[in-house]
Structure 1
Amino acid sequence: MPDIRELVETRVQRPQAIAEAAGRRVRPASLLGAHGRLMMIAADHPARGALRAGARPLAMADRADLLDRLCSALARPGVNGILGTPDVLEDLLLLGALDGKVVVGSMNRGGLAGTVFEIDDRFTAYDAAALATAGFEGGKMLLRIDPEDAATAPTMESAARAVSGLADRGLMAMVEPFISHRVDGHVRNELSAEAMTRAMTVAAGLGTTSAYTWLKVPIVDDMERAMAATTLPALILGGEVSLDQDATFASWAKALALPTVQGLVIGRSLLYPPDDDVAGAVDAAVGLL
């Protein structure tokens, strides 16, 4: 378990140690691992107020436990990337856990879960300049397109600027698009092939160039038809924790056979598996690659 007292002491006494650790970090030679794919662990949920994992409503609220799970996952063979917000990534930098890993910073976390302004997904975390300064490999943004919410338009515009800013610096722009609707006051993503096709085609056209754009997409029925809509590289996201891990892994394996799918970005499904065996879950996912 990480020593929280030591992390806090460093933050109090030597906040510059974070930038120093970023400067010392050994950068990866490629976005792809030895298996030829990108296998990332996602940990940007807490900054949006989304702390649930499966049946545990506050699973991600214990930072020491989360960091322990992240360090365990990042240490497994075949895991070559991490997605997170500044607070999480900086803790991992201080712990020396990011050497040789593809590091992607989460950019817009302002659309807090369960709020009336959820679709107005402001860029409240990393920007392109900060990611370049830190020496990270890219930035990720969430784009939920709600046809009935006018806040979608400024979110799209902000995402387009972020894609352009990242591309100007030669950094990956990871866009996670959905068609979304409010149902009984809650934002719900439409997980159909038609909705994903529409969302991906909108996301692919954002910014002044698509040269550095990757898509982060969920599993949907008729995945082959949905993924036929783009030539951009795509990564499969894990979504909610499932009690049927075998079925989940089977769906990931099927998607990985598609030419545009270049890897996985999995968070809660691997960090909080039903049996709590993080290493076992991560190793099973890596085995799919």
Structure 2
Amino acid sequence: MISDNDWNNLLATRANAPAAVSTAYAERRRRPRLLSEHGTLFLVAADHPGRGSLGVGADALAMADRRDLLGRLVEALEHPDVDGVLGTPDVIEELLLLGVLDDRIVIGSMNRGGLAGASWEIDDRFTGYDAEAIERYRLDGGKMLLRIVDEDAGTIPTLEGCARAVSELADHGIAAMIEPLPYRRDTSGRLVLDRSTAANIRAVTVASALGTTSAYTWLKLPATEEPEKVAGATTLPTVVLGGVPSADPQADLSSWGRALAQPTVRGLVVGRALLYPPDGDVRGAVDAAARVLRVANGRTAEVIA
């Protein structure tokens, strides 16, 4: 929850002191390495609003209230197992101004032009951070979404944009986190994620080859039915994405746990499933995900069913 005082100060800073944003970037205390002391990475994602994706479950505007969203993010970031956040410039800067990103990993979201539901959704132009800004603002990496639809030529400029971003980030020695997702259109023309093993393996191999070097490339992959085959298609470090939350949080946790057990997988990047759990308990949802990561990393003998 954001207090009235903090909220009013944030709004006043936005209106009266825009230079405070660059100061906050410059003064942020950075963590020396991407992975935690346990060799894992646990991030909370909040870049969905940047492409107009505001819904969670039946609530089409769940993420629309910015004060509420920021409050949930602050609560998630207070958990000791959470390493940081992935977000668009506006969200990152609001968290900076709230003073909650010291010693946290901050990944900047780069392409948000594929607006949810738009006819050009797959042509996902780079409208957020670029590599130069990520380096200048001292962020820890850049994330890009790569939705692959064979029947949609909009995939081509997105592929090209991602390849360019990977190369530019690598030139600065900065991690590039690619989220390669195979999609198809159903009979109504709606885009749906293809969770088949073959399609996801193909997406992994395409994403792994993007850019002039893969030295700094990470992959952000969905939990699939055969995670060992999908994760086994690359040597690149990967993180498991939470994706669209199901109606059964326990099933989501179990699915993440199976994916986290793979040797290339280093952690979790989860957004709506943690920020907007069915019972409203953000702290409880984050804690449950943290336990799954600890189990996969061998730091507890607990079993997640």
**TM-score under structure 1 length normalisation:** 0.98
Match among 242, 253, 262 for residue 258 of structure 1? 262
2:224 touches 2:259 (CA, 8 Å); kept in 1? no
* Equivalence for 1:267: 271
Of stretches 141-150 and 38-47 in structure 1, the one that deviates more from structure 2 is 141-150
2:259 touches 2:265 (CA, 8 Å); kept in 1? yes
Matched, 1:78 2:81: yes
* Equivalence for 1:19: 22
Which letter does structure 1 place at the counterpart of 2:156? A
Q: Shift in Å at residue 115 of structure 1? A: 0.6
RMSD: 1.0
**TM-score under structure 2 length normalisation:** 0.93
Secondary structure (helix, strand or coil) at the match of 1:39 reads strand
* Equivalence for 1:283: 287
Secondary structure (helix, strand or coil) at the match of 1:119 reads coil
Match among 4, 7, 15 for residue 10 of structure 2? 7
Show the 5 A alignment for 1:158-237.
Answer: 158-183=161-186, 184-237=188-241
Which letter does structure 1 place at the counterpart of 2:75? S
1:128 touches 1:139 (CA, 8 Å); kept in 2? yes
* Whole-Å separation in 1 of the counterparts to 2:257 and 2:17: 45
Match among 104, 107, 112 for residue 107 of structure 2? 104
Q: Shift in Å at residue 187 of structure 1? A: 1.8
Question: Between the two proteins, what is the percent identity of the paired residues?
Answer: 57
Match among 113, 123, 127 for residue 126 of structure 2? 123
1:118 touches 1:187 (CA, 8 Å); kept in 2? no
* Whole-Å separation in 2 of the counterparts to 1:262 and 1:141: 18
1:242 touches 1:274 (CA, 8 Å); kept in 2? no
Which letter does structure 1 place at the counterpart of 2:281? D
Match among 133, 139, 147 for residue 136 of structure 1? 139
Q: Shift in Å at residue 39 of structure 1? A: 0.2
Which letter does structure 1 place at the counterpart of 2:213? T
Secondary structure (helix, strand or coil) at the match of 1:288 reads helix
Q: Shift in Å at residue 76 of structure 1? A: 0.4
Name the structure, 1 or 2, with higher relative contact order (CA <8 Å, separation 6+): 1
* Whole-Å separation in 2 of the counterparts to 1:79 and 1:126: 23
1:216 touches 1:236 (CA, 8 Å); kept in 2? yes
Q: Shift in Å at residue 36 of structure 1? A: 2.1
* Equivalence for 1:50: 53
Q: Shift in Å at residue 243 of structure 1? A: 2.5
* Equivalence for 2:302: none
1:197 touches 1:229 (CA, 8 Å); kept in 2? yes
1:77 touches 1:283 (CA, 8 Å); kept in 2? no
* Whole-Å separation in 1 of the counterparts to 2:195 and 2:105: 28
* Whole-Å separation in 1 of the counterparts to 2:216 and 2:51: 25
Displacement over 6 Å in runs of 4+: none
* Whole-Å separation in 2 of the counterparts to 1:226 and 1:254: 12
* Whole-Å separation in 2 of the counterparts to 1:112 and 1:162: 19
* Whole-Å separation in 2 of the counterparts to 1:141 and 1:215: 10
* Equivalence for 1:238: 242
Q: Shift in Å at residue 277 of structure 1? A: 0.5
Which letter does structure 1 place at the counterpart of 2:38? H
How many positions carry a matched residue from both structures?
A: 289
* Equivalence for 2:296: none
* Whole-Å separation in 2 of the counterparts to 1:173 and 1:18: 24
1:35 touches 1:78 (CA, 8 Å); kept in 2? no
Secondary structure (helix, strand or coil) at the match of 2:220 reads strand
CA offset digits 1:137-196 (Å, max 9, x no partner) = 010000111111111111101110000000000111000001222222222221111110
Which letter does structure 1 place at the counterpart of 2:227? M
